Structure 1
Amino acid sequence: MEMRHLHALLKQRHSLGQLEPKGGKLAFVTVPRENLRGLLTELRDVHGFTHLVLLTAVDWMEDGLFQLTYMLNNRGRDMTLGIRVMLDRQEAQGDSIHDLWPTAATYQRELKEMFGIDFPGSPRIDEEFILEGWTDLPPYRRDFDSLAYSQQTYAERPGRVTHDPREYMKSKLYPDGV
C-alpha cells in the first residue's frame, strides 16, 4: 500500500490533514490531538508501523503552539510517516504513548525537561533526566535566552580573540606576507 492510499483510507476516520510527501517513502500529516491515540494504534496494529523512530518537538512561540512529531516506520514496506500534533504552548501537555511504544517514555522525559511539555502518566516523567539540578526555563524553548543565561552563570574569560578566518589563514600559510 502506498502512502497516498493509506492517507485516503485513514483521512475521514482520524480527521487527517493534507498528506505532505517529502520524497521517497517519507511523508508527514497533521492530526488533531484527540485523534492521535486512535491513529497511532491503528497504524501500529493494522498497517505495520511498528517502529517509533523518534518523538520530537518544535516551539512555534509566535503562534503559541508546540508541535509534536511522531516518526513511525513500517519496516516491511520501507515507509516512514511523521504524525504532527499541535499543542497549546501555555498548557504544554501531551498524551503519553508509553503503553504503545515503551521507548516513548524516554522521549517524553526529554521533552518534559527540555521544552517543559508534560506527559501525565508517563513513567519517571518528573525525575531529572539530562539537566540535573536545572531550575531555569527549559532550554529548548525559544524564549530561553542562552546568552543571558551564560552571562549570568559563567565568569567572563579574558584573552579570547576572534580572527577573521581569511586573514588568519593567510597569516598562518604565508607568515612572511608573501
Structure 2
Amino acid sequence: MGSDQSKTQNNSEQKKSSTDSTQTSISKKTESITPEFEGSLINQIVTRFSDKLVQVIYVRPGRAKILVPPNEIVQVASFIKDRLGFDHAESVSGTDYPKDNQIEVIYHLSSYSDDKLSSQILALSTRVDRNESRMPTLINIFKSAEYHERETFEMLGVYFEGHPRNERFLLPEDWADIPPLRKEFRIKGR
C-alpha cells in the first residue's frame, strides 16, 4: 500500500470514532498484490471519498467491492458512473445479517460502453438497519437497477426511497408473511 493510501486509511480510521456503529475503517483485503487496474479505479474513489468509505475489498482480479454508508451511496454511485465509466448495474442483491441487525444491499456495476471496464465488476454496497431498512434508490443513476431494487424490496424488505414502485413483483398479492429472504422466515409445515 502506498504512503498516500496509508495516510488516507489512517485519516479515515481517526474519523471512525465520529461515525455510526455500522461503519468500520477503510481496510484493504488482498490475496497478494493489489491488482493494478482495479487499484487505479479504487484509488480514484478513495481519493474522492476517503472520509465516506467504510471498507474497500479486492475480491479477485476484475472484482472489487466498496462499502459506503446509505446516506452516501447516491453521491458515490454518481461518481462511479460519471467519472469512472461504469454505466449500468448488472444486478442488485441483498444479504441478511441478523446477528449484526443489518441487511447489506450490493449493486454489481460494470460497463457496456468501455471495453476496459466490461470485464470488471465493481460491487457498490451499503448496510441498513434491519428494523428500519430504508435507503435511497439508484434508479436515477442506473436505470437497470429498477427491477432488481423491486425484488430486493419484496424479498428482503428494504424500502428504496424515491423508487416509484416499491410494491409486489414476484410474490402473490395476498402474501402476508415476512420477506422470504430474511433469515427468520420459515416455510409453513416444516
Aligned to 2:135: 94
Q: Is the 1:105–1:123 contact (alpha carbons within 8 Å) kept by the matching residues of 2? A: no
From 75, 78, 82, the equivalent of 1:45 is 82
From 110, 122, 125, the equivalent of 1:81 is 122
Task: Report the AA paired with residue 95 of structure 2.
Answer: V
Aligned to 2:189: 150
Stretch deviating more after TM superposition (42-51 or 57-66): 42-51
Stretch deviating more after TM superposition (9-18 or 76-85): 9-18
Q: Residues 135-172 of structure 1, C-alpha deviation per residue, up to 9 Å, x if partnerless?
A: 111111001122xx235xxxxxxxxxxxxxxxxxxxxx
The alignment partner of 1:145 has SS state of: coil
Aligned to 1:23: 60
Gaps of 5+ in 1: 152-178
Task: Report the AA paired with residue 150 of structure 1.
Answer: G
Q: Where do 4+ consecutive residues of structure 1 move more than 3 Å?
A: none
Aligned to 1:119: 160
From 173, 179, 182, the equivalent of 1:138 is 179
The alignment partner of 1:91 has SS state of: coil
Separation (CA, whole Å) in 2 of partners of 1:21 and 1:87: 22
Separation (CA, whole Å) in 2 of partners of 1:20 and 1:8: 12
Separation (CA, whole Å) in 2 of partners of 1:99 and 1:18: 24
Task: Report the AA paired with residue 170 of structure 2.
Answer: I
Max Rg structure: 1
Residue 52 (structure 2) pairs with residue 11 (structure 1):
no
Report which structure shows greater RCO (CA 8 Å, sep ≥6).
2
Task: Report the AA paired with residue 40 of structure 2.
Answer: H
Q: Is the 1:11–1:17 contact (alpha carbons within 8 Å) kept by the matching residues of 2? A: no
Aligned to 2:23: none
The alignment partner of 2:181 has SS state of: coil
The alignment partner of 2:123 has SS state of: strand
The alignment partner of 1:41 has SS state of: helix
Residue 70 (structure 2) pairs with residue 33 (structure 1):
yes
Aligned to 1:169: none
Aligned to 1:167: none
The alignment partner of 2:158 has SS state of: coil
Percent identical: 25
Deviation at 1:12, TM superposition (A): 4.2
Deviation at 1:19, TM superposition (A): 2.8
The alignment partner of 1:103 has SS state of: helix
Q: Is the 2:71–2:135 contact (alpha carbons within 8 Å) kept by the matching residues of 1? A: no
Task: Report the AA paired with residue 140 of structure 1.
Answer: L
Equivalences, count: 148
RMSD value over aligned CA atoms? Answer: 1.6
Task: Report the AA paired with residue 189 of structure 2.
Answer: S
Gaps of 5+ in 2: 1-35
Using the size of structure 1 for normalisation, the TM-score is 0.77
The alignment partner of 1:39 has SS state of: helix
